[in-house]
Structure 1
Amino acid sequence: MARLQLLHVLVAAIAVLAGFTSVAPFAEAYDPLDPTGNITIKWDIMQWTSDGYVVRTLSFDIIETL
């Protein structure tokens, strides 16, 4: 019985690993409503702190129209 449970866990782990590795190459940001859009994210470190930093982020969505 223990071997059967181990087999189930092993098969589940392999399935999860295969799922993640097959999806990773296609994990791009895509907006179906704006497929040719250009989203730029700019971030600046404003201040260093003892546990990290404080940043300012700016995002631009450049929409090209014909």
Structure 2
Amino acid sequence: MIEVCPVCGNSDLYYEVGGYAGKVYHCKECGYMGAFVVEGNEEMVEKIREKYTREKEKGKE
């Protein structure tokens, strides 16, 4: 299982803050910041990445 960004599927995350309030992750790819990350296998991660790419391309039109 891999922890990835729920927006773009990137695994390059780092802790922005942590402690009593919990962890807040920051994605280096899309800039997402939040406590929620997805823990999934390669198939799930690929689906997240495909969706992100489709939405990103759709936004350019």
Q: Relative contact order (alpha carbons < 8 A, sep ≥ 6): 1 or 2 greater?
A: 2
Q: Which has the higher strand share?
A: 1
Rg (Cα) greater in structure:
1
